[in-house]
Amino acid sequence: MVKVRGIWTPRIDYNRLARDVALALAKKQERLTGNEIRFIRQHFEMTLQAFGSRFDVSHPAVLKWERAGDKPPALKWPVEKDIRLFILDRLLSRPKAFKELYETLREEAASPSKPLEMNVTQAA
């Protein structure tokens, strides 16, 4: 607790809280919602254009995802997996093997020829 202007309030490390929320989103069982995608993009301080470019979609597509609000957007599962792996890659120290797996999954997700089947919780 810390006293602010004469009132005791909880001492919260908002940066750590945001990091923990992002990690929880990467591992959650349900599909990401539009608000969660917005949170992820803003947490990593990315513009709509930068986020869209990172996941090989247009910035209007990212905006459409975010406008879904509390509902899952029309987002293909391989792209969502890539977003989840991006979170894990940026926030966790992983060995070289994880980085190689990440790049392999990213390349496969970009190729529509075969579907990916991976449980994100197993990778984390």
* Residue among 29, 25, 81, 31 nearest 56 (CA): 81
What mean pLDDT value characterizes the chain?
85
> How far is the C-alpha of 94 from the C-alpha of 75, rounded, in Å?
27
pLDDT digits (tens, 9 = 90+) for 23-57: 999 999 899 999 999 999 999 999 999 999 999 99
Q: Which helix (H) or strand (E) holds 8?
A: strand 7-9
Residue 123 reports pLDDT greater than 70: no
| Model pLDDT, residue 67 | 97
What is the band of 92 on the pLDDT scale with cuts at 50, 70, 90?
A: confident
Q: Is the pTM of this model over 0.85?
A: no
